[in-house]
Amino acid sequence: MQSFLAQVVAHLHRQHGEQMSTITIVLPSQRAGLFAKALIGRQMGKTIWAPRVCTIHEFVEDLSDLEMLDGMTLLFELYATYQEVEGQDAESFERFGKWGQIMLNDFSEIDRYMLPTEQVYADLSDIKVIDNWSLSGEELTENQQNYLDFWRKLGTYYRHFAEKLLERNKAFQGLAFKQVAENIDALHQNMEGPIYFVGFNALSKAEETIIRAFVEAGKAEVFWDADTYYLNNHNHEAGLFLRRHKKNWNINPLPWEAEYLSKESKNINIIGVPQSVGQAKVAGDILQQIGGADYTNVALVLADETLLMPVLNSIPMQVEDVNVTMGYPLKNTPLHNLFELVFVLQENAQRLLRGGDDRKFYYKNILKIFHHPYIKSLLNTAEAGNFSETIIAIISAKNKVFIDFEEIKSYAEEQHRPLLDQMAFLFEKWQQIPDDALDCFVKLIEVLKDRFINDELLANKLELEYLYQYTTIVKKLQTLFGQYTFVNELKSFKAIFHQVVNAGSLSFFGEPLRGLQLMGMLETRVLDFETVILLSANENTIPKAKQDSTFIPFDLKRYYHLPTHIEKDAIYAYHFYRLIQRASNVYLLYNTENDDFGSGEKSRFITQLQHELPKINLNIKINEQVLATPVVQNESLPVPIAKNEQILEQLTQLYKSGLSPSALNTYINCPLDFYYKYILQLRETDEVEETIEARHMGSFVHQTLEEFYTPFIDKNVTAADLKAMLPRIEAEMMRQFEKKYSTEEINFGKNYLIFRVAVKFVDRFIRQEMVLLEETGTPLFIKFLEKKLRSTIHVPINGQPQEVVIKGEADRIDTLGNTIRIIDYKTGNATRSELNVRQLDAVTTDPKYSKSLQLLTYGLLYAKNFGNELALQSGIVSFRNLKEGVLSTRINQSETLNQETLQEFEELLQQLVQEIHNSEIPFQHNEESTYCKFCH
C-alpha cells in the first residue's frame, strides 16, 4: 500500500517534473521532511536541486522579521516586565516562576488564535469578581482584593510584555504567528509559489489565516490525509478538525479521501502486559517473530517516551539498524544525577550553618558523591587503587554525622590528598548565587572532560556528549544571568536549572531511512508503516490526562474557541487512527497493572476500535490477549553446608581460640548463621550511625559503671560511696559518648534523648544499689569488673578427646553477704521466664533460654577458675526492669549453681560441641528461627 507521502511526491512529480526545485513543501515535523526528501530522490531517479522542505514554524519564521526567543529567555523577560509593572510589590522570581510559565503559555495560545487579549483578560477578571461576589454585601478582605488585582493586571502584563519585545524585534511563538497572520496580505506578495501544505490536521486561527491567504492567492495547495471512517462520522473525534476545514473552506470532498479503515485487511493485536518494562520485553519478542531483512517498514512507537531505555535494551540482536527519532532526556543521565547530588550537598550545608564559616556537610550527602561512578573515576587511579572505597570506609568508621572537607582530607594519606584536592571546589561555599554555582559546574565539567579524554580506558563518546550538552546549558545560563540579575537564591537557581535541563535531550544519530523506526507519537505525523507496534496505549497516556496548566477557565475557552481537553483528545484520536489506517499489522500494548491513577485501563481508542470497526470492515481481525507474569514459588531456602575436611579443620582452630556463649547461642538459633559468622567470618558493613544504636548505648552504660566501680575492686562499696557517684554521672556519660560521637551530634534530636535515657539508667541503678545496701545491711564486695573467663572442656570427637576452650566476659563479679554473684548488665529487657529453666537440657536446644546459657557458662567458668567456696549465683540486671533487682538464672527452682548442676551443664556443652563437629549434620537453616527477618 502506497504511503501518504509517496502519493504526495508522485503527484508533485506529475505536476512539476524536472522543476521540483522551485516548490516549497510545508510539513508538520522535521522527520516527515526527511522522509519526503528521500521519496523525492527516489521518484526522480537522479541528482536534482531539492525543493525547499520545512515545518510550519520555520515557514512562519521566514515570513516574520521577528526573532522567536526560547522559553527560558521569555520567562526572564516576562519577570522583568512584571517587576516594571509591580515595582516594590513584585514577588520574588522563585514564586513568580511557579505561575509565570502558565502566563506565557496563555499569552502564546491567545495570540495563535488571534484573540483580543485585553478583552479576554477583562472577561476573565469579571469571572473572578463574580466568583468572589457575596449576596450579603460584605466588603472584600485584603487577600480577596489582592487576588482580584492580579486578574485585572493580566492584560496589562501582556500589553507591556508584547510591546517591550516588539520594540526589539523579538517575540514569543504565538505573537510571531499573530503578527504574520495580521500582515499576511502584504507578506505573501514576497513569497514565490507554488507552496504545498501537507498532512496538517489541527490548525490555530493564525495558521489557518496564513495558509488560506496563500491558497486564495493561487500560490498554495493543501493536501489532507483523511479516512472516510472517521471523517464522515460526525460523532468521531478523530475527524473533528478535518470536518471543520471542509466546512470553513468549503471543500467537499477533501482531496484524497480514502477508505483504508473501512475496507482494507488488517490484523490488529491488542495485548495487555503487566508493568511498563514488560511491554518493552513483549515488543522485543514481537520484533523477533516478525523477522525481515531491515525492518524499514516497521515502526515501534512509544506513547510514553520514558520507556526508551528499556525498549532499546529489549530489541533483539537480529535487528541490526535502529533509527531513534526521539532524544534521550538529559535529566536521566548520570551527569545530571551528579549535579543533583552537588545541589543537595550545598542546600543541606546552608541549613547546617550555625553562624560563621563553619562548613560542615551531612555525611550521607558526601558518601553519595563519593559513590558516584564519575567521582570514582577521578579518585581511583592505577597508583591509588580503589581510593574512593577506602575514603568511604574511613568516613564510615569515624562515625561523624557532620564533617567538613578538610577533615576528610586529613583522613587520607599524604600522597592521596591531591586526588581529593581536584574535587575540593564541590565543597566550597556558594556565596554569590548563581555565579558560584555555575563556576562550580564549569569546573566539574572540565575535570571530568580531562579525565575521560586522557584516560583511554574511560574514554567514552556518550559521556563526553553528556558533558558537551551540559556545557551549552551552563553557558546559556551564564549569559542569561549576566543580563538578568534578579536570581540570587539557591532555591530559585535550582528551579531554573531544572527547567532548562528538563527541556533538553541528547539526540541520537543514525541512518534515518533504514532499519527499525523507534519514535514518539508526534513523530509519526504524515508517516506510514506496514507494521506498527504501539506501547503504553493506556488511558491518560493516549489521550493524555487533562492538564489545567492555564489561567483561562473551560467556559471562557469555549466562548473564544480556544482549544480545551476536547480538542486535545481529538488531536490524539487523529494521530492514533491515522497511524493505523494504512498499516496491515498493528500491535497495541498496554499496561494492565493498576495504580492509584488507573494506569491499568486500556485507552478508550482501543475500546472504540474494538466495538465499532469490525461492524463496518469484515476484513479486520482483532485478537486480544492479556499476558500474566508467571508466579514463581519462592522455595529457594539456603542450601545446607556439608562439613568437609576444611570446615572441620576451621572448627578445630575455633575450639582453640574459644567458643563464647554468643557463638553457642548463634548455633542453637540457626546453624547456618553460625557457619556464616564463625567459619566464613562474615560481618555487617560498618556504617555511620546518625542515631545512637542500642548496642552502643549499652556499651556506654557499661563503661560508665566500670569507671565508677574500678576504684573499689577488692574493696567494699558503701552507700556513701554510691551517693558520691550520683553528681558525676552526666559528665562521665558525656565523656563516654564523646569517644564515638561529637558533642553537637549528642546535644539534639534522638541522640540527646538516648543520652538522657543512658544517664537515667545509671542514676536509677546506683540508687537501687544504695537501697539494697541500706535495707540488707550487708557489705558489697567488688571482686572483678569486665572479667575475662576461660577454661577448657574435653569433648570426645571421633574417639579422641578434643580440648575445647570456652570463654566469656562477665560485667561484674561481686560478693553480697555469703553469695558470689556474677552479674551481666543488659540495657534491653529481660524477664524471669527466660531464666526459669525446668529441664536443664533445654538451654542447649531452645533459643528461648539463650540468656540462661550465657549465665550458666559464666558460672561454669568461674567455678573452674576459682572454685565454689561460697554459694554461686549468676544473673542479669535489666536496666528496663530495675525494680526486679538481679534476675538470677533458676534451675529447678534453685538460684544457686551447685556442683551437680554445673557438671550436668558441662556435659550438655560437650554434646553440643559434638553436634557442631559431626560431619554428618550439615550447617542448615533453622526454619523456626524468627530472628532471620532481621539477619543481614
pLDDT digits (tens, 9 = 90+) for 393-422: 888 877 777 888 888 888 888 888 888 888
Q: Is the pLDDT of residue 535 over 90?
A: yes
Q: What is the DSSP letter of 227?
A: B
pLDDT of residue 509: 65
Q: Residue 296 half-sphere exposure, CB side, CA atoms within 13 Å? A: 7
Q: pLDDT band at 353, cuts 50/70/90?
A: low
- Per the CB < 8 A criterion, the answer to whether 301 and 542 are in contact is no
Q: pLDDT band at 629, cuts 50/70/90?
A: confident
Which ranges constitute the DSSP H helices of 582-638?
604-616
Q: How far apart are CA 191 and CA 227, in angstroms?
A: 32
- Per the CB < 8 A criterion, the answer to whether 184 and 56 are in contact is no
Q: How far apart are CA 425 and CA 410, in angstroms?
A: 17
Average pLDDT over residues 135-139: 71
pLDDT in tens, 683-696: 776 555 555 666 77
Q: Round the CA-based radius of gyration of the chain to a whole number and report it.
A: 40
Nearest to 241 by CA among 205, 217, 213: 205
pLDDT in tens, 154-201: 999 999 999 999 999 999 999 999 999 999 988 877 777 799 999 999
Residue with grid cell 551447685, as numbered in its chain: 898
- Per the CB < 8 A criterion, the answer to whether 72 and 499 are in contact is yes
- Picking from 92-106, 124-138, 161-175, which range would have the lowest pLDDT averaged per residue? 124-138
Q: How far apart are CA 748 and CA 502, in angstroms?
A: 39
Q: To which H or E segment does residue 306 belong?
A: none
Q: Residue 686 half-sphere exposure, CB side, CA atoms within 13 Å? A: 12
Average pLDDT over residues 826-838: 87
Q: Give the E-state strand segments of 173-265 in sequence order.
A: 195-198, 220-223
Q: Is the pLDDT of residue 356 over 50?
A: no
Q: Is the pLDDT of residue 525 over 90?
A: yes
pLDDT of residue 343: 92
Report which residue type is found at 540: N
Residues whose CB falls within 8 Å of the CB of residue 517, separated by 6 or more in sequence, listed in order: 296, 298, 299, 300, 323, 325, 527, 529
Average pLDDT over residues 75-97: 89
Query: Taking the alpha carbons of 507, 508, 509, 513 in that order, is the dihedral positive or negative?
Result: negative
Query: Which residues share a beta bridge with 853?
Result: none
Distance in angstroms between the alpha carbons of the first and the last residue of the chain:
62
Q: pLDDT band at 458, cuts 50/70/90?
A: very low
Mean pLDDT, all residues of the chain: 88
Residue with grid cell 528496663, as numbered in its chain: 880
Q: How far apart are CA 573 and CA 852, in angstroms?
A: 74
Which set of grid coordinates corresponds to residue 377? 573515576
The size of the chain, in residues, is 936
Q: Which residues of 200-223 are buried (b: 16+ CB within 10 A; e: fewer)?
A: bbbbbbbbbbbbbbbbeeebbbbb
- Report helix, strand or coil for 858: helix
> Residue 935 CA to chain centroid, in angstroms?
27
- Report helix, strand or coil for 794: strand
- Per the CB < 8 A criterion, the answer to whether 352 and 533 are in contact is no
- Per the CB < 8 A criterion, the answer to whether 322 and 516 are in contact is yes
Nearest to 624 by CA among 649, 588, 654: 588
pLDDT of residue 187: 84
pLDDT of residue 24: 94
Query: Which residues share a beta bridge with 267?
Result: 585, 621
Omega before 253 within 30 of 0, i.e. cis: yes
Residues whose CB falls within 8 Å of the CB of residue 587, separated by 6 or more in sequence, listed in order: 269, 271, 283, 286, 531, 532, 533, 534
Residues whose CB falls within 8 Å of the CB of residue 916, separated by 6 or more in sequence, listed in order: 651, 667, 671, 674
Q: pLDDT band at 598, cuts 50/70/90?
A: very low
Nearest to 576 by CA among 593, 565, 585, 588: 588
Q: What is the DSSP letter of 894?
A: B
DSSP 3-state percent helix, strand, coil across the chain (nearest 5): 55, 15, 30
pLDDT in tens, 42-68: 888 878 888 999 999 999 999 998 999
- Per the CB < 8 A criterion, the answer to whether 187 and 210 are in contact is no
Percent of the chain with pLDDT over 70: 93
Nearest to 426 by CA among 491, 355, 339, 492: 339
Query: Which residues share a beta bridge with 888?
Result: 875
